[in-house]
Amino acid sequence: MKHSNRVRWSAAVVVFVVALGHFGVQARPVDEVKLQDVIRILQYKPDPTPRDFVECGSDIDSVLADVLSSRNVKPEIRVRAARTLGLYPGTRARAVLTSTMTTPDEDRDVRAASMFGLARLVGGAAIDDIKAWLKDPSPVVRSGAAVALAQIGGPRARQILMDTIAHEADLDVRLKMDQALNRMSDQESRPNERRKPGTARSGSN
């Protein structure tokens, strides 16, 4: 009888350990949970601000940089990550945005969004980096550069666009540039409204 009880107890322990191991494998690491939470917000909010990520915890800029850098993520989500990353001051944000926008085989919409994110992040310091892409073979990239310059604003960005639009062959790109110039005019007439929406404080990076 005692032997039988020992066998049953041993079997129960084995089942418990196996079950524990099973649940341990299924449990998602904290970083993965945060990643999925951030992606979920990006899915449902076209232009989120740092306030939208408060419940996700800290180091959101690093998560956004990971999302932007991953080609396994849908381009639409990466576009939103790029634009949002521009609201998180930090050296890694700048490096990832610059690397993405200058990678020729990268998705064109993601490159354009990275230019906008960089413009948000560093303002006029990005003009020289963005200016070169007004001559890119892709109309999407050229349009993205125009929108990014409009985000920066100021006399120099305006002059660059005015000089470029006169030589732009693509009608859609010219329209984008014209819209960018009009946006800059609106911003200049309302200088107090050029604040960045919900800019986050600098992170650990």
> Which string of DSSP letters, residue by residue, matches 91-144?
HHHHHHHHHHHT-TTS-HHHHHHHHHHHHHHHGGGGHHHHHGGGG-S-HHHHHH
Cα–Cα distance, 107 to 71 (Å, whole number): 9
Asked if residues 60 and 90 have their Cβ atoms less than 8 Å apart, the reply is no
List the Cα angle 101/103/107 in 5-degree steps. Answer: 75
Confidence of residue 195 (pLDDT cuts 50, 70, 90): very low
Question: Domain segments of the chain: what residues?
Answer: 26-193
Domain range 26-193, CATH class: mainly alpha
Q: List pLDDT tens digits, range 49-81.
A: 999 999 999 999 999 999 999 999 999 999 999
Q: List pLDDT tens digits, range 118-160.
A: 999 999 999 999 999 999 999 999 999 999 999 999 999 999 9
